[in-house]
Structure 1
Amino acid sequence: MSVDGGRTWPDAAEWTGKIYSEGWRTAEGGTRRVVEPATGEPLAEVGLAAPSDVERAAARAARVASEWAAATASDRVDVLIRAERALRERSGSVREWIVRETGGVPAKGDYEIAAGLAQLRHAIGIASQPPGEVLVPQVPGGTSLAWRVPVGVVGVITPWNAPLLFAMRALAPALALGNTVLLKPDPLTPVSGGVLVAQLFAEAGLPGGVLHVLPGDAATGRAVAADRHVAMISFTGSTGAGREVARIAGEGLKRVSLELGGKNSIVVLEDADVEAAAAAGAISSFGYQGQACVAAGRHVVHADVVEEYTEALVRLAKALPVGDPRDEGVALGPVISERQAARIARIVDASVDAGARVLTGGTRAGLFYPPTVLDRVDRSMPAFHEEIFGPVAPVVPFRSEDEAVEIANDTAYGLTAAVHSRSVPRASTLAQRLRTGMIHINDVSAKDAANAPFGGMGISGNTSRIGGTASLEAFTQWRWMTAPGPS
């Protein structure tokens, strides 16, 4: 990998075949080879945390939790500042790992780094927020105080599609607010989602036992969710896996924050700037091969402009080269795995068999799936209902605003949406009728900001949020204290 400071970073001799729990140690769950999706070449070998590793790490995190919670806000901020500096200084190596491990193009790596830096900077501000409030006492001269205290040990379970960003989005505020963390990155991206994070915080001087990085499969995730020392689970991933995590965590009455899937619509009204809307639609459906919960899964376009919009979308799709993301000019790399490639092909092929038409793309070469535009899509088809998680843009026409709202809301998901119109008030009025946790006017559906509450409705999440001031509620709990007045 890349060389920083005259040597390869991070030094594979330190972490190969190991997990991070007060330094790098041998995992009881064995090891796993990490493979580059674009080439099939092995990239690394990481340790897999067994349930016994999770139990040991959680117990240690619980033992040091009171010390980290008692640290001053400035001490915690100093660690975050150093971690932010380390990420900036190591950005070249981090970018290369993201590109090679996730299959994203370099711009995707740059986005994750910039977003991760933003999450760290925002967490620095959160650490200095007022911790509580003075309440009106119930007795004359008495004292009544309420303030936020850390939850305790937080289990953070992250997916493969934006591993660095999703780790930082939960990890940074959790640490800033005085919690200790067990981080379980996805086994497909355990380096950019785990090893790099451990190394960055180790360089930042985070005290031992505060952060444990435990790569593993579903059994590892279940162990994190079930462990008696873990007080909260922050999970990002599929709705099916989120249901299981919630069920397990619910047995222990743990706090659970679920950020799950989406079937997101871009609604294009007849008065929209069609070229601008199509450009936003292309980015939303094809960016990082469509492998994002906030990707556009439906293009709901007024019948008066659907032909013009579709032509523009097809033109943009055809202009996006597919190949090894390290090659200059490539816009789309491979999807993450054979399983994911087969899923995309199944949904497209079944929809075509049901009457949809492929206007461009639609045929894969191994893990490489081209930008694909489908029209003649109706509500009976998998492309309409299922979260594709691939670079596929199903186009669905409508005649009235009521019909557009009905089409966009015809899903159990409710994550994000976008509405395009030359009249912002008109678009905003329609947007208020969409059942989504996030909505964007004349923009892409795929947006994220460190200072904004991120999350969805329906089966896109459990209505909890992280990001912005929502992280205060997510990673702390209230404590109330009273004292009598003078006797």
Structure 2
Amino acid sequence: MPLDDERIWPDAAEWTGKIYSGGWRTAGGGTRRVVEPATGQRLAEVGLACAADVERAGALAARAAPEWAATPPSDRADVLLRAARALDERSAAVRAWIVRETGGVPAKGDYEITAGLAQLRHAVGLASQPPGEVLVPQDPGGTSLAWRVPLGVVGVITPWNAPLLFAMRALAPALALGNTALLKPDPLTPVSGGVLVAQLFEEAGLPAGVLHVLAGDAAAGRAVAADPQVAMVSFTGSTEAGREVARIAGEGLKRVSLELGGKNSIVVLEDADVEAAATAGAISSFGYQGQACVAAGRHVVHADLVEEYTEALVRQAKALPVGDPRDEGVALGPVISERQAARIERIVDASVAAGARVLAGGTRAGLFYPPTVLDRVERSMPAYREEIFGPVAPVIPFRGEDEAVEIANDTAYGLSAAVHSRSVPRATAFAQRLRTGMVHVNDVSAKDAANAPFGGMGVSGNGSRIGGTASLEQFTQWRWMTAPGPV
């Protein structure tokens, strides 16, 4: 994947060192180099928003909100359709940016593009949903109506691991339903999570002032959450950061949607197809270097199958090449940063020191961490307790279903899970006992769909959901009106 040929779009001369707020403008927070994790090469330089930039953007978004809310839903839908068309047409360039900026292989880039397109196209339908209800009036001959109205300005704070997808997952429904938005992408991926998003919507003809893209660090995120013009904050990221966002937004009595971390289990019952389960387990733990909130952090396997399953998982782990994601045949690229690599290393090393055994991988080379399989994992070990966010698969045996349920639920998180059995009714019944917001039978733990409510329980979120018709509740509020006669 040559650099120059596939980075022609967007023109860096337009946005280098700038933020997008009423067009591209000089950032008040200085600039930051964007570095390719696989090579350390400088990819770009972006502007960083300061608190004053956020305040200005909030004011502009609030000013643009009434006109955008009054725009016919069909016209808002047309903007989203044009953005989808632009993304489809620009897919080669977008893929190249995702690969180089996030460290994901090309298939990961394709996934983000396909899923981003699905979010845009599904949101088109939200724009034309029935806006409300005709209620039975209390007074004879009167009128009682309830309908949904936009919240106003929505703040969207996204992480680095799927920056394009997570931006579209919140922006598409928010814009479709008549809100304006402040997008704060992660400073590690400000191009694929911010610059590209701004360019796509600009090409789609989104009116000026409706969308503001404000790359920045945690201080910029705090400013977005605190801004008085922002009525709602959609945050995707770590549980620790989510707590801070909730605290800040709560002081302003804002609506908050939190999609946070996970310690997800793949449960393999004794009648499972071992090879199929191990393949799903490998995808769930090793895909995009395990850097996903829905990655499998525990492989909970019946004792009668654990040896066979572990052998299959190790075989698959050792068959996955690690290297520069632009190189043909590479399955895993680098993890996103030295901080993340050191975290994975700490968790594995501490678990091994406590008695866990490495069956594959376990030793990194810079930012490249190989697919790693651990057994003899005890409940006191970090590999059992902590969200790893790396390509590590801890295998934990069980004897009975009650024990498997207890292990899978033995975490403060409650995001996703998968259950494997040749009996779908049995797996479905088992799945009902898991305390997770999402669960998948005979599949991977890492799934996403534009028409499905995505979110978790416990410290994986605040019970909110984005996706499908759940987005109607997230990005609108009810208004009730009565009149003494017909209206």
TM-score norm. by structure 1 comes to 0.99
User: Helix, strand or coil: the match of 1:159?
Assistant: coil
User: Helix, strand or coil: the match of 2:115?
Assistant: helix
Deviation at 1:3, TM superposition (A): 4.5
Percent of aligned pairs with the same amino acid: 88
User: Helix, strand or coil: the match of 1:8?
Assistant: coil
Cα distance between partner residues in 2 of 1:67 and 1:485: 29
Cα distance between partner residues in 2 of 1:202 and 1:357: 52
User: Helix, strand or coil: the match of 1:216?
Assistant: coil
Q: Report the residue type matching 1:437 in the other structure.
A: G
1:192 aligns with 2:187: no
Deviation at 1:8, TM superposition (A): 1.3
Q: Report the counterpart of residue 350 of structure 1 in structure 2.
A: 350
Cα distance between partner residues in 2 of 1:175 and 1:437: 26
Q: Report the counterpart of residue 445 of structure 2 in structure 1.
A: 445
Does the aligned pair in 2 maintain the 1:2–1:92 contact within 8 Å? Answer: no
User: How do residues 216-365 of structure 1 correspond to structure 2 at under 5 angstroms?
Assistant: 216-365=216-365
Q: Report the residue type matching 1:62 in the other structure.
A: A
Q: For each residue in 1:375-423, what CA deviation from the matched residue of structure 2 results, as whole angstroms up to 9, or x when unmatched?
A: 0001010000000000000000000000000000000000000000000
User: Helix, strand or coil: the match of 2:449?
Assistant: coil
**Runs of 5+ consecutive residues of structure 1 not aligned to the other structure:** none
The runs of 4+ residues in structure 1 deviating greater than 2 Å are: 1-4
Cα distance between partner residues in 2 of 1:462 and 1:59: 28
User: How do residues 360-399 of structure 1 correspond to structure 2 at under 5 angstroms?
Assistant: 360-399=360-399
Q: Report the counterpart of residue 205 of structure 1 in structure 2.
A: 205
Deviation at 1:25, TM superposition (A): 0.1
Q: Report the counterpart of residue 59 of structure 1 in structure 2.
A: 59
Q: Report the counterpart of residue 168 of structure 1 in structure 2.
A: 168
Cα distance between partner residues in 2 of 1:8 and 1:203: 16
Q: Report the counterpart of residue 75 of structure 1 in structure 2.
A: 75
Cα distance between partner residues in 1 of 2:14 and 2:23: 9
User: Helix, strand or coil: the match of 2:433?
Assistant: coil
1:400 aligns with 2:400: yes
Q: Report the residue type matching 1:294 in the other structure.
A: V
Q: Report the counterpart of residue 481 of structure 2 in structure 1.
A: 481
Cα distance between partner residues in 2 of 1:125 and 1:281: 34
Cα distance between partner residues in 2 of 1:227 and 1:184: 13
Cα distance between partner residues in 2 of 1:474 and 1:378: 40
User: How do residues 144-155 of structure 1 correspond to structure 2 at under 5 angstroms?
Assistant: 144-155=144-155
Does the aligned pair in 2 maintain the 1:2–1:93 contact within 8 Å? Answer: no
Q: How many residues align?
A: 484
Does the aligned pair in 2 maintain the 1:2–1:9 contact within 8 Å? Answer: no
Cα distance between partner residues in 2 of 1:106 and 1:355: 37
Q: 1:434 to 1:220 in 2, by over 3 A?
A: same
Deviation at 1:2, TM superposition (A): 5.5
Q: Report the residue type matching 1:146 in the other structure.
A: A
Cα distance between partner residues in 1 of 2:4 and 2:75: 31
**Runs of 5+ consecutive residues of structure 2 not aligned to the other structure:** none
Q: For each residue in 1:201-255, what CA deviation from the matched residue of structure 2 results, as whole angstroms up to 9, or x when unmatched?
A: 0000000000000000000000000000000000000000000000000000000
Deviation at 1:484, TM superposition (A): 0.5
Q: For each residue in 1:300-322, what CA deviation from the matched residue of structure 2 results, as whole angstroms up to 9, or x when unmatched?
A: 00000000000000000000000
TM-score norm. by structure 2 comes to 0.99
Does the aligned pair in 2 maintain the 1:160–1:186 contact within 8 Å? Answer: yes
Deviation at 1:485, TM superposition (A): 2.7
Q: Report the counterpart of residue 422 of structure 2 in structure 1.
A: 422
Q: What value does the CA root-mean-square deviation take over the aligned residues?
A: 0.8
Q: Report the residue type matching 2:436 in the other structure.
A: T
